[in-house]
Structure 1
Amino acid sequence: MNRTLKLVSAFGAGLLTVAGMAQTTTPTTQPAASAVVAPHAEPAKIALIEYEQVAAATNEGQRALQEIQAKYAPKKAQIETESTEVDSLKKQMQSAPATEADEARAAKLRTIDTKEKQLQRDVQDAQQAYNADLQDALGKVAQKLGPTVVKYVQSNGYTMLLDLSGQQAQGGVSVMWAAPGTDISQAIIEAYNASSGVAAPAPSAPTPTARPRSATPRPSTTKK
């Protein structure tokens, strides 16, 4: 999936558009002569956006995050209980007397190993399920965000829009410097919140650190 949003496909090959090309004319009533029109470079106006972060930062995105957190709260509590149990068993092993029978010690080790593997499976399954739900929820917001983005860049005369989400991890465009006002992320968040009519959700617990990347659907941004 192309992570770089381009407003106008004609600008996809570079930052400048050529408005005029070299032309040669030959008058019919005068000796042959050529008139060369120098190429004219029209500066592009480029905007930057962190699309995934924008989708997550909208009121609708924040509400989706809270709903998913609430959905996985019981699983989170279960995993914390399992983790506490494994830690407790390990501490018991460490404090066991040196005279403890080998069979008893081996049985405890097997129990710890079994519970630890189950904990790892539960964590992995929960993380995968959480990421899938989060990706789906934010993907829906991202799709609805598209028209707002297109309207904003067209209204403000931008000729190209670059998505910086995960640019380093994906080996995409690396922006070393940008003039103030080039990043339109916050402006898009505010514009979308105003048009969606979704109120800001009440504050909740911090969002889990792990979250999906590189899979947010992108809307069509073909300029009409």
Structure 2
Amino acid sequence: MKLRNGVQVLGILIMVLGISTVGFCTDSNRIGIIDFQKILELSNEGKAAQNEINTQGKQMETELKDKGKEIDDLEKKLERESLVMSREMREEKQRDLRIKVGDYKAMQQKYMEDFKTLEARVISRIQKEVVGIIQDYGKKENFMMIVEKRTGGVVYAQPAIDITDAIIQLYNASAPVKTDSGSGSKSTETKKKP
């Protein structure tokens, strides 16, 4: 047991020494971190994406509320009129109501899936665009490695190695500026290459 622990410790020491000598042998030993969530929240494209997602979500929510209100109204009407209806008529109305409730649940499920798909598609698009910018920045600024703060498992990092703000500036400069004017949105493109 002690021998196994000793071998593990020796292996870790060799790995640490190997990594540290590799770092000294290369021209680049800088490490940077980025916060993709911050890029989504603060970049122009991220804000436009959030706006698009929120607009779609509100539209879906409105349609679901309208459908839910229609079902509530039918339930109340059925309750009021059930005493004066024939048994066949009441059963038919109850069947129609069950069908509408089933349609509502299916619509709700479809909207949830559509919303998640939209969100994933928009985030994926932004990630692809940002990754290219990060790679170019990393090469230009001579970084050995750039890690995403949340998915990279970073528990602590000095603020000096956080390059998120620089990436946001580059992304904003390379992406079209979108403005929202009332009912429709217009896009004025000012594409620049970093």
TM-score, with structure 2 as normaliser: 0.59
Give the corresponding residue for 1:123: 108
SS in 2 for 1:126: helix
Distance (whole Å) between structure 2 residues aligned to residue 108 and residue 163 of structure 1 = 56
Q: Which letter maps to 2:67? A: E
Q: 1:180 aligns with which of 143, 149, 159?
A: 159
Deviations 1:21-68 (A, max 9, x none): xxxxxxxxxxxxxxxxxx979995432223366357532343355456
Give the corresponding residue for 1:78: 63
Q: Does 1:191 align with 2:170?
A: yes
**Contact residue 17 and residue 44 of structure 1 kept, 8 A:** no
Distance (whole Å) between structure 1 residues aligned to residue 166 and residue 76 of structure 2 = 53
Distance (whole Å) between structure 2 residues aligned to residue 191 and residue 161 of structure 1 = 16
Change (3 A) 1:49 1:112: farther
CA positional deviation for 1:90: 4.2
Distance (whole Å) between structure 2 residues aligned to residue 164 and residue 87 of structure 1 = 47
Counterparts of residues 45-84 of structure 1 (less than 5 Å): 45-51=30-36, 54-55=39-40, 57-67=42-52, 75-84=60-69
Give the corresponding residue for 1:87: 72
Larger proportion of helix: 2
Q: Does 1:201 align with 2:179?
A: yes
Q: Which letter maps to 1:127? A: M
Distance (whole Å) between structure 2 residues aligned to residue 182 and residue 106 of structure 1 = 69
- Matched residue pairs, number? 166
Distance (whole Å) between structure 1 residues aligned to residue 156 and residue 76 of structure 2 = 52
Deviations 1:52-104 (A, max 9, x none): 663575323433554566667765543221122123344556x6499677946
**Contact residue 48 and residue 183 of structure 1 kept, 8 A:** yes
* Identity among equivalent pairs (%): 19
Change (3 A) 1:181 1:18: closer
* Unpaired stretches in structure 1, ≥5 consecutive residues: 1-12, 21-38, 168-172, 205-224
* Unpaired stretches in structure 2, ≥5 consecutive residues: 1-14, 183-194
**Contact residue 48 and residue 161 of structure 1 kept, 8 A:** yes
Q: Which letter maps to 1:132? A: T
Distance (whole Å) between structure 2 residues aligned to residue 102 and residue 137 of structure 1 = 53
Change (3 A) 1:98 1:88: closer
